Amino acid sequence: MSTAPQQTARPVGFAILSILLGMVGWFASFELLTEYIKTLQSPAHVPNCNISVLVTCGPNMGSWQGSILGFSNTIIGVSAFVAPIAVGVALLAGARFMAWFWRLYQLGLFGGFVLVGWLQFQSIFALGTLCPWCMVAWVAMIPLWWSGLIHPFAAGSIPLSARGRRFFRSLNSWVWVIVLINLFIIAAVAQFQLNWFAEFARG
C-alpha cells in the first residue's frame, strides 16, 4: 500500500483561513506591543485594553509571565503570526510544500498552542485577569493549531496509509467542532475561577 504524498487541488479554504487567523493574531499582538511600548514611555499611560479590574492587560504585560524569554511576549506574537499568513498566501499562489515542511510547520503551531495554553493558565489562575487582546490571539491560535494539525494529513501533504488518510479526511470536517470544544473548555474554566460572566453582565 503506497504512502506517497497524494495532494489534491489547491486548498483555498485552508489557505484563506490561515491568512485571516494569522492577520487576527498579528493585529492583536501588534496592539499589545504598541500598548506595551506606550507604557514603557509613560508609566501613567492607561492601555486601551484596561476595561476593568478583571478585563485588563496591564498586569499581564507587567508580569514575568508576559516576558518569559526576557522580552515581551508580544514580539513573539508579531513575529510568529506572520508564518500562517505567508503559508496561506503561498498556497493560494499554487505552492506545494514537502512533507518535512508541514511537519516543521506543525511543530511551530504546536509550540504556539502550548505557549497560549500556558498563558491561559497563568492568566486565569495566577494573575486573575482576562486580557482582551491576549484572548483575541488565543482565538486565532487555537483554530490555527487544529486546522494545521489535521489538514496536511487529510490533504495527503504528509504521507499516510489509505486508512490513515481517510481518518484525517473525516476528522477534517469536524475541525470547527474541535475548536469550539476547546474554546468552551477555556471559557468554562475561566468562569469557574473568575466568574467572568458576572463581570460582563454588570458591564
**Which residues does residue 130 pair with via DSSP β-bridges, in sequence order?**
55
Please name the amino acid found at residue 174.
Answer: W
Residue 172: predicted pLDDT: 93
Residue 200: predicted pLDDT: 61
Count of Cβ atoms closer than 10 Å to residue 116 Cβ: 22
Please name the amino acid found at residue 6.
Answer: Q
Helices H, strands E: what count in the chain?
Answer: 9, 0
In this prediction, residues 54-81 reach a mean pLDDT of 90
Residue 58: predicted pLDDT: 83
For the whole prediction, is pTM greater than 0.75?
A: yes
Query: Dihedral, CA atoms, 62, 85, 132, 58, nearest 10 degrees?
Result: 10
Choose between 54 and 25: higher pLDDT.
Answer: 25
Please, what is the average pLDDT of the chain? 91
Domains of the chain, by residue range, sit at 12-202
CATH topology of domain 12-202: de novo design (two linked rop proteins) (1.20.1440)
What span, in angstroms and rounded, lies between the C-alpha atoms of 125 and 190? 9
**3-state DSSP assignment of residue 176:** helix
Residue 9: predicted pLDDT: 72
